[in-house]
Each structure stands twice: as C-alpha cells, then as structure tokens.
Amino acid sequence: MSLESALESLKHGEFVLLFDSAGRENEIDMVVAAEFVTPEHIARMRQNAGGLLCMALEHNFANDLNLTYMHDILSNSTISNKEMIMGLAPYGDHPTFSLYVNHYQTYTGITDKDRALTIKEMANLFNIENKQKKFSSSFKTPGHVPLLIASKGLLSTRQGHTEMSVYLAQIAGLSPITAICEMMDAETYSALSVDKAEKFGKQHGIPLIDGKELLEYAKVH
C-alpha cells in the first residue's frame, strides 16, 4: 500500500512524492517532515523538484505563532492597489501563503545550509512552551522560506499540498510541519507529469502517494 510506505519514508526523514489531483493544481510535490530537514534535503529539492520550496504549518501551530494569511495581511494594510490581492486561484482555492522568513543566524537566507537552518528551527518551535516569543526573537521577515498555513479543518476544508502534507506528517506521528517543493519539467517547461514522477520515484526509491488515497483514508479515520 503506497500510504504505508509513504508514512514509513516520512518517519525515517526521507522524501515522499505527493500528487494532489488532476482536477486541482495537477502537480506533484516533493515532501519531507520539517523536523528532519538537512542541507542535503534542500539541495535535492532544488535539483530534482525546482519549484518554490515552502514550509507548511498546521493551523493551530500557525495561530500559536500569531501568523495570518498574506492576503489578510495585505487586505488590512495601507496599500492602495488592493485589487492585486489574490482571491481564489484558477483551481478554486485561496492561497495559503503567510510571511516569508529567515532564521536570524542565516547570512543571505537562500543557501541550502541557510534554508535548512530556517526550516529546522521553525520545526523546533513546535515542542517549546512560549512559541510566539521565540518565533519573534529568532526569525526575520521578509526572508527566503515562505510559510504556508494549512486550513483549520485540513482535508475537510481544503485539499491542497499544504493540507495533505501536514496531514501525512500528523498520521505518521510527527510534528505537523513539512517542507514541500513542486516538481517541474525542464523539457516541457510545466509541471512534471504523474508518469514521469512515478519513474523518478522508482529510480530513487521514493514512494508516490495519490491525494485520492489520502482523502479515502481521511474519510475512514
């Protein structure tokens, strides 16, 4: 069963390939549990995926850090061109972007080492008492790691890579925080197809999980 192998992979700090659905973004993301992220993970996502490397946070954890969605931040700001603010994306969902951050110990923030440090230190906040205070004192914005806030009801509310990856980490018994990156195709200049992603997964021993299977599991459990 692909879900079982995906959960085992995540528990061991390894990658999972996650397909949302043909009716949505129709994209595959490389996913790893944030608590295990190393510079090697960042390098592999950069080289083998190539999309935007983001961090997905469980909704309550984001609340504890006093984070809000970027479209809300902009709506409540003094910018005059509010018509630019993203409403629904073409595939029907609100974006989950919040702030972009760097850990204060990074230099430029974009290197594999810097992004791994930012992601690992963000994940470490999950298990401490005064999360908001530590977050404010240890991270700077704008930075190079986009934070995504999973919807409150997870898959019952939104079925994006943000929610799916957080749910995967949750049912694997890990901190519900992930690093995700869309897989791109340098031959077609578009998203990598499921067939090519399956081939890549087999070559590198990375399980591919279909969002449909995850939704079915969520309904039962």
Which active-site residues does the annotation give? Answer: 29, 54, 91, 102, 144, 182
Decide: helix, strand or coil at residue 99. strand
Joined together, the tokens standing for residue 176 give 């519900």
Cα separation, 132 vs 56, in Å, equals 17
Are 49 and 183 in contact by the 8 Å Cβ rule? The answer is: yes
Non-local (6+) Cβ contacts of 199 within 8 A are none
Distances (CA, A) of 71 to 20, 95, 96, 108, 196: 23, 8, 9, 26, 34
What string of DSSP letters covers 142-164? EEEEEEEE--TTGGGT--SHHHH
Burial environment of residue 193 by CB neighbours within 10 A (0 to 12, 13 to 18, 19 or more):
middle
Are 95 and 122 in contact by the 8 Å Cβ rule? The answer is: no
Decide: helix, strand or coil at residue 134. helix
Joined together, the tokens standing for residue 47 give 């080289």
